[in-house]
Amino acid sequence: MTLSAREVSEMRFETPVVAVVMMMAGPAFAQQCNTGTSSIRGEVRDITGALIVGATVTVDDTASVRSNEMGRFESACVVDGSHSVRVEAAGFEAITEVARVTKEARPFVAKLKPSATMEVEAVDASGVDSEDVAGSKTLQANDLKQMADDPDEFARQLQVLAAAAGGAPGQAIITVDGFQNSGSIPPKSAIAFIRVNPDLFSSEYERPPYQGGRVEIFTRPGQSKLHGALFTTQSGASLNAKDPFALSRAAIGKQRYGFELSGPIRKNKADFSIALEHRQIDQFAVVNAVSLDAAGNDVNVIGNVATPQTLWEGSARLGWMPNAKNNLTATYSANVNSLHNVGVGGVVLQQAGYDSLQQEHALRFTNLQTLSARLVHESRVGYTWRTRDDAPQSNASSLVVAGAFTGGGATTQMLRSHQRDFEIDDDILYTRGKHSVKAGVQLLNSTLNDSLPTNFNGQYVFGGDAVGSTTISGLEQYRRALLGLQGGTPTLYTITAGTAAISLNQLRVVLYAQDQWKLRPRLSLSYGLRYAVQSSPTTLRNAGPRLGLAWSPDKAQRWVFHARTGLFFSPIETATVLEANRLNGIQQRQMQIYSPVYGQPITTGTATITTLRAPLPGLSQTPSLQSHVGVEHEFTGHWHAQANLYLVRGWDLLRSRNINAPLDGQPGGPRPLAPNTNIDQYQQTGIVHGNVMFLGVDQHSLRHVQIFAGYIRMDLRTNADAAGVYPQNSTSDIGETARPSWLATHHAIAFSNVTLPLGLALSTQFDAASGNPYNVTTGFDTNGDGVLNDRPRFATGAESTVYRTSFGSLTGAGAGRYIQRNAGTLPWNIHLDSNLSRSFALPHRDGGDATSLAVNVRSTNLLNHTNATAVGGVLGSPLFGRAYAADPGRRVEVGLRYSF
């Protein structure tokens, strides 16, 4: 639940919250109902008796209404008798009560108590708010019911919504119950509401919007009376479509079972809630590769490989209000996933997969203290432990035939990862006059104890070969190796040796302060400062100011203009530090052998190149400056539209470079620092710049239809996709600045909820995105820097091997100009998900609690569109320019939920 600054400013004595200003007025009262039916009328108040505006009231899990400006509501007509009424409001704990409905029934009065998570909002209920954010959205229980139950699909839908704030699709951070540390999504039945994209320009938040946005999940508290539910979801092969690249439909299915229970321990003092889910997902990966038969002929390898998952999710929550000034909660959540044949699919054969057991457990405590009518204090302490244990299907050397297939054993081998995170957050919220100040400290200590035998099994790479101006593909090179023909030497063999066990401890501490200042009823200013430090590596100079302004030119405030800017600092991630420490020459070192004998790589007498990671230089947290200008307008009929432009500029981004690459660009050439050694170093030489545009429209005041739609256009350029990405040439950045690999230039989204006749409810989630970029490479390492990312050149006409492509005439060896990085683009991805549901009130004894049975039919990828995820990018390979992997085809599942 959330507690706003405005709410605090309106508190009565010892009252944690009084009012929440949400949407427009509710329905008119005194509607006419047929004989034997009546409407449920009433009011929504807090525990002090203050009215709550905009609360959501749901009767028997059907269509909802909202309380009006007087806190009152009236439902649609229902049959006389007892009905289940659920009342929710942002900043309060939801309740479910039983209402006795007749023509003479007294008005229903719902009293909500505050939740244990506060949120800074406007000081004054009237006027503009500089914290309004483009693409912000709050998902209540009714919205959540319409979304996917499958954890992967549910996460994808949330990521789509988060992209509306101008961020990279699929990169949003997901947090639970106000904690800064990211966590697994809890069971959907345990979620009270979800807030997508709060004010990311507030100094409270770390990541700039362009990095993906933010999703904040808040779990459900206990109820004032004992309530629960049993539910199941079933799906079988007959309901599901064949996957795009499969030759036949696999035995795809899903079984999901669970229950939830919540209620009081002591009335108005303590409550509890528990939830448990089990999923058995019978899914398949489609292998779509090219290999060789016994005679050395090309043969397509296409087949369904079972990749089943067994998932357990559970949560328990205990709430306690020892007095009017303290609201304590304790939660425990667990997520245990057993996955099989991970990594298989596309060009990766089953033998190169691995099984993985992944667990996350989180124990968290929160205390919300109302110290006075102006001062609120919130403390959060969390301890999270995560484990991952991988078991490969094969211990053989990995075999990569560029652009054709990947076989042998998985390079991760027997990976063991154990991580412990300890988090403390302490915030205060102080309101006085036109100011609302929120300040706090955030501490996160991460301890990793891993065993990383990466590439201990060795790896052969057949990337193709260039002899003068003539080239052969990796598959042809592999064929010659098997048949003992000339030119059958692998491009490269690598193997890592050393100690697999490695540990790391990293501490991050943040101080922040943010003020929301209502200068005038139509002019609001927000400003703040965030200061962050971290260890491993130590960074100290990371002070980021934030500033926001909102102004409305008209008294009715139908037009509102926004402007924001902020300096952001992103910490050095533990994965980067761990990799630098792992391959440091003492812990582990990698050997590279060019042109080895296949099957006997070490004994060939070929010179061995040692690859190391240089110690981390004096790094700083990665800075970026992001600004936002926007306008929104309220049209007739409560249609709301907005247009927003984000300006992005980042520098000192992390990327990798071989600082000891051969000076003459030849594998055996002289090196500046040490002979026969690759020294890879993380450097802060990357940049990103560009803009993101978001256009949106929404309609939430209609009783039967709710719509949220938007269009995002991302125009960003960078030379540093990630910390582990290398330029193709260690001495040149020509052609490196390009679209980020995660960027979809065009992105359209549309979410809708429609109430149909016969009590049916239909929701749809539409997401269409132009394809992400992909790199076009030769598969060679012509310059000897140890990285197989060399790009082809445009043919000049003098080359003997030329490929006619959609990019033009390309060659793997020549003197022409190099093609740009990330020159390729995947096809459009189009997802349409839908959910059709109906809730039935079940007979029960008079005066008893209402029960209901909800039925739903849900479909993902309803259009059965081929959503390609990979296209062959190795020049001359058999899959070049062809899509060979895709998201699953249409999936359909049927669910039942019994609530009591």
Task: Convert the pLDDT of each residue in 3-56 to its tens digit.
Answer: 333 333 333 222 222 222 222 223 333 456 767 677 888 888 765 555 687 788
What is the predicted pLDDT for the residue at 3?
37
CA dihedral 394, 400, 404, 406 (to 10 degrees): 20
Model confidence at 156, pLDDT cuts 50, 70, 90, reads confident
Query: How many CB atoms within 10 Å of residue 443?
Result: 15
- Residue 219's pLDDT is what? 83
State the Cα–Cα distance between residues 160 and 147, nearest whole angstrom: 12
pLDDT of 387 reads: 97
Query: What distance in Å separates the CA atoms of residue 284 and residue 241, rounded to the nearest whole number?
Result: 12
Number of CB atoms found within 10 A of residue 802's CB: 18
Element (H or E) spanning 574, and its range?
helix 574-582
Find the mean pLDDT for residues 677-700: 93
> Does residue 389 carry a pLDDT above 70?
yes
Strands 868-871 and 883-886 come out as antiparallel
Distance CA 258, CA 261 (A): 10
pLDDT tens, residue by residue, 709-749: 999 999 999 999 999 999 999 989 999 999 999 999 999 99
- Tell me what pLDDT residue 59 has: 82
* Exposed/middle/buried for residue 546 (C-beta within 10 Å: 0-12, 13-18, 19+): buried
806-824: average pLDDT: 92
Q: What is the pLDDT of residue 798?
A: 83
**How far, in Å, are 27, 40, 74, 664 from residue 758 at the CA level?**
21, 19, 20, 76
- For residues 638 and 699, is the Cβ–Cβ distance under 8 A? yes
Is 60 exceeded by the pLDDT of residue 821?
yes
Contact between 27 and 73 under an 8 Å Cβ cutoff? The reply is yes
Between 814 and 895, the more confident residue is: 895
> Of the candidates 369, 372, 431, which has an alpha carbon nearest to the alpha carbon of residue 125?
431
Burial class (CB in 10 A: 0-12, 13-18, 19+), 312: middle
Contact 472, 532 (CB under 8 A): no
Cis peptide before 537, with omega less than 30 degrees from 0? yes
pLDDT mean over 133-145: 73
Q: How far apart are CA 763 and CA 840, in angstroms?
A: 18
Going by C-alpha positions, the residue among 273, 381, 327 that lies closest to residue 92 is 327
DSSP string, 230-243: EEEEEE-GGGSPPP
Q: Residue 11: phi, psi to the nearest 5?
A: -65, 150
Give strand pairing partners of 658. 680
Share of the chain above pLDDT 90, in %: 60
**What is the mean pLDDT of the segment spanning 562-591?**
94
Determine the distance from the C-alpha atom of residue 841 to the mean position of all C-alpha atoms in its chain, rounded to a whole number: 36
Q: Answer yes or no: is pLDDT of 522 > 70.
A: yes
Buried b or exposed e, range 618-637, using 16+ CB within 10 angstroms: ebebbbbbbbbebebeeeee
Amino acid in position 3: L
Predicted confidence (pLDDT) per residue in 186-217, tens digit: 877 788 888 888 888 999 999 888 888 889 98
Contact criterion met (CB below 8 Å) for 741 and 688: no
Residue 104: pLDDT band (50, 70, 90) is: low
Q: Which residue in the block uniquely carries the two structure tokens 């899509």? A: 883
Q: Considering only 154-163, 421-430, 455-464, 526-535, which range has the smallest mean pLDDT?
A: 154-163
pLDDT reading at 126 higher than 60? no
- Strand segments, DSSP code E, in 127-246 are 137-139, 173-176, 191-196, 214-219, 227-235
Using alpha carbons, list the distances in angstroms from residue 5 to 8, 52, 377: 5, 15, 12
Which of 868, 865, 870, 871 has the alpha carbon at shortest distance from 891? 865
Nearest residue to 891 (alpha-carbon basis) of 849, 833, 809, 815: 833
Strands 459-462 and 492-498: what pairing? antiparallel
**Mean per-residue pLDDT of the chain:** 87
CB 260 within 8 A of CB 228: yes
Q: Ramachandran region of residue 18, left (φ > 0), alpha (ψ -120 to 50) or beta?
A: alpha
Q: For strand 459-462 and strand 398-401, is the pairing parallel, antiparallel, or unpaired?
A: parallel
pLDDT category, 606, cuts 50, 70, 90? low
**What is the pLDDT, as a whole number, of residue 315?**
92
- The tens digit of pLDDT for each residue in 836-882 reads 999 898 876 555 567 889 999 999 999 999 999 999 999 999 999 99
Q: Which residues 6+ apart lie within 8 Å of 842 measured at CB?
A: 850, 851, 852, 853
Residues 6+ apart with CB under 8 A from 636: none
pTM: 0.83
Report the alpha-carbon distance of residue 8 to residue 14 in Å, rounded. 10
Q: How many C-beta atoms surround the C-beta of residue 241 within 10 A?
A: 17
